[in-house]
Amino acid sequence: MIAFIGNQISEKHMNKRIKWGIILTIGIGLSGLGIYQFTPHENEELTAADALPRENKSKTLKVNAQVITPHLLTDEILVTGRLVPDEEVNLSFETSGKITDIFFTEGSSVKRGELLAKVNDRQLQAQLKRLEAQIPLAEDRVFRQNALLQRDAVSKEAYEQVKTELATLNADIENIKASIDMTELRAPFDGIIGLRQVSVGAYASPTTVVAKLTKVSPLKVEFAVPERYAREIKKGMNLDFRVEGRLNAYPAQVYATESSLDMETHSLNIRAIYPNRNGELLPGRYADIQLKQKEIADAIAIPSEAIVPEMGKNKVFVYRNGVAEPTDVVVGIRTESEIQIVQGLAIGDTILTSGTLQLRKGMPVEIQALN
């Protein structure tokens, strides 16, 4: 019993030592943590930030630039037009009748006045023969009446009557001949005749299209320019045009302009002439037309993408001492890819041609490509 009680006391004493040991350990740990919190030490995030390159704190923009040099600037207008024939007509008869003959070959060249087709004229030919048969008798009457008049054997009125009858007969013959001419279809000008739309034996009327005749030499170049250029286009102005599939440019010359602007498009319609002597080009094709207005020597011209519109003004960023500096400019003529600068820039200035929307005054820039 005494031994049991001793063991219990011994166990209690050991448990108390363990508890105090745990409490002591926890206390030491908390003390160490407090000392660590209040002890100065290195901040890894700040250290990493300090280690970053200085340019990341003040961002440098990589841009393209161009050194301004004087060069020849051509003021030109670029528009799209089309080639049209010098003359073109749908061929048809002036009278009605059955087609008896077709003399042309489709797609061939014909000359002015060449007989192309004919309708039935047998009735008219018969009337012509009847009238022509009366001519000798009528002429003989006039001759005899004139001889009698010289001897005062007939009155002057009788002579004038037979003379009028002869004139009427001749007029009737001319009328029949004109009707016969209307049965013949002839080429009104030199050209190329297209596909025929009728056959022999078909009944034709003035509304029946037999074929189309086109004059392709010369060709007309038809186009329009915006109203701001209307007064600058003059008769005799030269131009060049290109067509798809051909590398070379073709010269033409303005020969006429419309008398007024188109009310819907506010543009001026213009026509130029191209000889097309060998018939190389066919009408109906689209053409890219280049009209040269004037040439400016030693002009200051910059790419259009370098211009930054702002508050009704135009500005350009210039490279100076590693930063972008804006400068106001006054622009002149515009071409397809360049804009003339008449005030604000000088020869030798380096302008920035990319990233213009991101640039700000004094912003550091790095030129990655210099033209």
CATH number for the domain that contains residue 247: 2.40.30.170
Gyration radius from the chain CA atoms = 50
Element (H, E) at 127: helix 122-150
The 10s digit of each residue's pLDDT in 280-331 is 999 999 999 998 877 788 889 889 888 998 888 899 999 999 999 999 999 8
Q: Which of 295, 325, 345 is the last residue of a domain?
A: 295
Residues 5 and 26 in one domain: yes
Residues 192 and 130 in one domain: yes
Residues 186 and 219 in one domain: no
Residues 226 and 200 in one domain: no
Distance CA 16, CA 345 (A): 93
pLDDT of residue 19: 59
Amino acid symbol at 207: T
pTM for this predicted structure: 0.63
Distance CA 342, CA 330 (A): 6
Sign of the torsion formed by the C-alpha atoms of 169, 170, 173 and 175: negative
Distance CA 291, CA 312 (A): 30
Residues 270 and 314 in one domain: no
The 10s digit of each residue's pLDDT in 7-31 is 444 454 455 556 565 666 665 555 5
77: number of CA atoms within 13 Å, CB side?
18
Q: Which of 241, 269, 295 is the last residue of a domain?
A: 295
Residues 96 and 138 in one domain: yes
The 10s digit of each residue's pLDDT in 120-177 is 999 999 999 999 999 999 999 999 989 988 888 888 999 899 999 999 999 999 999 9
Element (H, E) at 178: helix 156-181
Higher pLDDT pick, 371 / 249: 249
Distance CA 132, CA 126 (A): 10
Q: How many domains does the chain have?
A: 4
Task: Please report which confidence band the pLDDT of residue 241 belongs to, taking 50, 70 and 90 as the band edges.
Answer: very high
Q: What is the largest CA-CA distance in the chain?
A: 204
Mean pLDDT (whole number) for 319-345: 88
Residues 309 and 351 in one domain: yes
Q: Show the domain range for 155.
A: 92-204
pLDDT of residue 21: 59
Residue 49 has pLDDT above 70, yes or no: no
Higher pLDDT pick, 31 / 94: 94
> Strand pairing partners for 303?
338
pLDDT of residue 9: 45
Among 1-5, 105-109, 331-335, the least confident range: 1-5
pLDDT of residue 38: 45
Residue 51 has pLDDT above 50, yes or no: no
Task: Please report which confidence band the pLDDT of residue 250 belongs to, taking 50, 70 and 90 as the band edges.
Answer: very high
Q: Which residue has the tokens 């804006």?
A: 326
From residue 324, how far is each of 126, 300, 301, 347, 365 by CA, in Å? 97, 20, 19, 18, 7
Q: Which of 221, 213, 212, 214 is nearest to 275 (CA)?
A: 221
> Both tokens of residue 84?
């049209």
Q: Residue 129: which CATH number?
A: 2.40.50.100
